[in-house]
Amino acid sequence: MCGIAGQVSPHGPVDPGLIARMGEALRHRGPDSSGSFLSEGVGLAVRRLRVIDLETGDQPVFNEDRSVAVVLNGEIYNYRELREELLARGHELSTETDTEVVAHLYEEQGLGCVNGLRGMFAFALWDSTRRRLVLARDRVGKKPLFYAERGGRLWFGSEPSAILADPDVPRDPDWPAIDRYLRYAYVPHPASGFAALRKLPPAHVGEWREGRLRISRYWRLSFTDARGSDPAGDRERIRAALLEATRLRLRSDVPVGALLSGGVDSSAVVAAMSRSGAGELRTFSIGFDSLAYDETPHARAVAEMYGTEHHERTVGPADAADLLPRIVRHHGEPFADESSIPTFRLAELAREHVTVALNGDGGDESFAGYPRYRLGMGRLPRWAPARLAARRYGPHVARLTDGERDGLYQPAFRAALGPDRWREPLEGLLRHSSAPSVVERMLDVDMGSYLPGDLLPKMDIATMAHSLEARSPFLDHVFLEAAAALPAHAKLAAGRSKVLLKDAVADWLPAGITERGKQGFSVPLAEWFRGPLRQFPEDVLLDPAAVQRGIFRPARIRRMLAEHRLGAADHAASLWSLMVLETWQREFA
């Protein structure tokens, strides 16, 4: 697990000092070692968190004649199998690290090297023979990769801060992207909060040559091969797939634990770890003083069942005030999922004991775990056009309604944004979905939007801020394909979500875990903004500097604050989004 960055230029040498600064901006992602590669017109930087091959696995890594150099953030879980195949075909490998297989697969397959990789990754590969830079990102977007293009030059980095280490890259906000952020609580790819920066989308590779970047897709989840009904066989297939994905993610030369919420997904991962020979387990949970939000009793029940060394920490209102600037600084762009607060503290707790932690991310997107899949979508015909489907689905994922947005924005700012196209990312995903049912179309949309835009950055940033590696068995692409092949009624039936998954793991878990309603990693932000943090939103949003920006109507913000404090409305999520945006402007303007 690492942070990577670099620059390529068709016009001459790259500044070694810049490459060093870009790498240093990512020190928290890789505190164990630093590395760089410099050649005519190219510079690569890497910060490494040592997880596999502690002695010889530092990066960059090369092929036999050093014509190919690779820096990689993430893990290739099937590297042992790939390594044996490469050795059998005559390749000479000098390390035991997973990164090295990428260099040798590229020698054989070029850009197609990504197809055999099973893992989470964002990598940069320099081919000195062809003078080609290859950028690639894993299938679901577990690992981030930002880039910028200007005058034929290309910058890339695991976080915006690495690219912004170069003063030649402008910091101007991308206001239409910010408008979408205020709808979704994140900036949908390929945009970023900065006009000059973009995100390489999940499941894409980029090829830079002679000052031009070409981007192409290499994988798409297919729902078209759904099987008929075979509940017993399907349950066994899902159990086997989860166990295999978990076994692969136990490969590590450092201590491994699990982030345990007490919900079905993270509990199933702990159970699979135990059944896969993980040995003595360490588990980590976050609780709240508010009983309505606290899941620690359920997490404790799972920990007791498997005899784990269990650790807990409580999050309160002071954590929100303390962490707001840190969360904004690490994300580098506006990101307003308030569950990043407990996720940040959970990663901090886990890193005190382990270097790698498995989690349950991805189960809801494969098995219809969110309430929105049951709310209204059943009335939408399968043949409904993308625009109608997006209009029906949009309110379930949007934080601001059209009216709230128009009432909040200053007229000049509203006019400068141009046409309101916030639903376009949903429409594009719906048009390209091969899913045969409405529910599966929504799963497909969330797999391409909410998962890589919200859940995965939240986990990546929180864990990497503490030099902790997070691994997600449910996001193994082989597991995802097995789940996508299940019939829709195995995911949602008669109002019951995650039907087959719950049935598959029921005997692995304490009684009642699979029958609990969906709670999620919710935060009592509304209570805090009416109580101990009553003044916090006002101090941030009505600060003179914030008002002078001329983006939002102060009168509307005062009304939102008053309505929320009186309990007439719950504006907590919207207020947090505005607070994150204001803090981001203070940090990066």
Where in the sequence numbering do the catalytic residues fall? 2
Q: Measured between alpha carbons, how far is 101 from 133 in angstroms, rounded to an integer?
A: 17
The 8 Å CB, 24+ separation contacts for 506-511 are 508/267, 508/268, 508/271, 508/272, 508/275, 509/264, 509/267, 509/268, 509/271, 509/302, 509/305, 510/298, 510/301, 510/302, 510/305
Residue 150, phi then psi, degrees to nearest 5: -160, 120
* Element holding 199 (H helix, E strand): strand 197-199
Q: Say if residues 310 and 262 touch (Cβ distance below 8 Å).
A: no
CA nearest 269: which of 283, 279, 251? 283
75-105 as b/e: b if 16+ CB within 10 A: bbbbbeebbeebeeeebebebbbbbbbbbbb
Q: Measured between alpha carbons, how far is 26 from 464 in angstroms, rounded to an integer?
A: 9
Q: Measured between alpha carbons, how far is 76 from 214 in angstroms, rounded to an integer?
A: 24
Question: In whole angstroms, how far apart are CA 262 and each of 221, 286, 472?
Answer: 28, 10, 16
Alpha helices per DSSP H over 194-332: 231-248, 264-275, 296-306, 317-331
Strand 212-217 with 492-493, pairing: unpaired
DSSP, res 382 = T
Q: What DSSP line would sit under 16-56, residue for residue?
A: HHHHHHHHHTTGGG-BSEEEEEEETTEEEEEEE---S-TTT
Assigned token pair, 409:
């924005």
Contacts for 544 with CB less than 8 Å, ≥ 6 apart:
none
Assigned token pair, 411:
């007229």
- DSSP-derived 3-state class of residue 446: helix
- From the number of C-beta atoms within 10 Å of its C-beta (0-12, 13-18, 19+), residue 342 rates as buried
Assigned token pair, 174:
């991308």
